[in-house]
Amino acid sequence: MKKILLTGGTGYIGSHTAVELIREGFEVVIADDLSNSNIDVLDNIQEISGTRPSFVRLDLRDKKGCQALFAQHAPEAIIHFAAKKAVGESVHQPLLYYDVNLNSLLNLLEQSEKYPVKGIVFSSSCTVYGQPEILPVTELTPFQAAESPYGNTKQICEEILHDNCRSNPNLNAISLRYFNPAGAHPSALIGELPLGVPANLVPFITQTAAGIREELKVFGDDYPTPDGTAIRDYIHVVDLALAHVVAVKRLLENKQKNNYEFFNIGTGKGYSVLEVIRAFEKASGQTLAYRVVERRAGDIVQIYADTSFANSELGWKAERGLEEMMDSAWKWQLKLKK
């Protein structure tokens, strides 16, 4: 049984990926500092999958802690989720984002070279493209200047991986450039549960509908888009989790064409903020209170993926649509209220 280290594995995407890896027969070790997640997630992963992953509470900036983690578990591959990820927060706290996001990766790579780690799947983001000049974005779309410190950390982390793979032919890495994850596991046992005020649209929608938030703020309706609101490519979190399973198998089975690869992981379709709100109202039967406010610092106008390369090269494709995302997110929110 091959051992996979999931950093940030009790988080939103990490927990869903843990479930899918266990179902595929992998042994999962989670390292997480629980700064934006809850230890109870382990119980729910176990309830869904029938197996409880090993868990180490660790801030990856802790070098000695990283050394102990690898000495104890010696994973065959790593999926690196652990990072700060709120665009708006990064604008106000850039040093925190550079510290956490860069140093955690550097420490992981340093330890990886001391152990027979086959490779690392890196949790990247479509923010690496900045505000692209041409849509949809392909993997060959050039990076524009990042619109936020968060986006810049993802650009820098990809550069670190690329440079390290170039200098060390034994290192293998795949960056998955996510678009906008949404939805929850169909069991409603795991989903997106940000601590504090959500930075992402969908949990803010569900919390507003559940009466936890007074109203939903729509950041700007004067963008050059059909309805004036920003457009994103939303992908169901289960589809995203399955992309990680495919990517880590590619590393372990030596199927890479180069020792550093990168793929767009989205649906290929963009939805505006208002379209997402309407899809939620249709899926849930709720009417949502929202108010348009000023644009949010760091947000881009629109972005959506060309996923044809990931579809053909990885043999992976997003299968779940926007209404399924909204329906599962609402069922997860209702479960939380009980």
Residue 245 belongs to a domain with what CATH number?
3.40.50.720
β-pairing, 231-232 vs 271-272, is: antiparallel
Q: How many domains does the chain have?
A: 2
Residue 136 lies in a domain: yes
Q: Give the residue from 214, 227, 238, 325 showing the smallest Cα distance to 273.
A: 227
Question: Maximum distance among all alpha carbons in the chain?
Answer: 55
Q: Which residues are catalytic?
A: 150
What pLDDT, on the 0 to 100 scale, is given for residue 88? 87
Question: Residue 78 and residue 4: Cα distance in Å, rounded?
Answer: 6
Residues 173, 139: one domain?
yes
Q: At what angle do helices 12-23 and 41-49 cross, to 10 degrees?
A: 30
What pLDDT, on the 0 to 100 scale, is given for residue 195? 79
Residue 161 lies in a domain: yes
What pLDDT, on the 0 to 100 scale, is given for residue 102? 98
Question: Residue 15 and residue 318: Cα distance in Å, rounded?
Answer: 18
What pLDDT, on the 0 to 100 scale, is given for residue 138? 97
Chain segment 180-200, per-residue pLDDT in tens: 999 999 999 999 988 788 888
Q: One digit per residue, pLDDT tens: the chain, 338 residues? A: 899 999 999 999 999 999 999 999 999 999 999 999 999 999 999 999 999 999 999 999 999 999 999 999 999 999 999 999 988 899 999 999 999 999 999 999 999 999 989 999 999 999 999 999 999 999 999 999 999 999 999 999 999 999 999 999 889 999 999 999 999 999 999 999 887 888 889 999 999 999 999 999 999 999 999 999 999 999 999 999 999 999 999 999 999 999 999 999 999 999 999 999 999 999 999 999 899 999 998 889 999 999 999 999 999 999 999 999 999 999 999 998 76
Check: CB of residue 150 under 8 Å from CB of residue 85: yes
What pLDDT, on the 0 to 100 scale, is given for residue 298? 84
What pLDDT, on the 0 to 100 scale, is given for residue 153? 98
Number of H helices, E strands in the chain: 11, 13
Q: Give the residue from 167, 131, 171, 173 showing the smallest Cα distance to 151.
A: 131
Residues 256, 302: one domain?
no
Residues 39, 60: one domain?
yes
Count CA atoms closer than 13 A to 207's CA, side-chain side: 20
Residues 241, 322: one domain?
no
Residues 81, 161: one domain?
yes
What pLDDT, on the 0 to 100 scale, is given for residue 140? 96
What pLDDT, on the 0 to 100 scale, is given for residue 338? 64
Residues 160, 214: one domain?
no
Residues 165, 80: one domain?
yes
Full-model pTM: 0.96
What pLDDT, on the 0 to 100 scale, is given for residue 1? 85
Residues 134, 218: one domain?
no
Q: Which two tokens stand for residue 126?
A: 């479509």
Q: Tell the burial category of 61 from Cβ atoms under 10 Å away from its Cβ (0-12, 13-18, 19+).
A: middle
Residues 40, 176: one domain?
yes
Residues 245, 296: one domain?
no
What pLDDT, on the 0 to 100 scale, is given for residue 199? 82
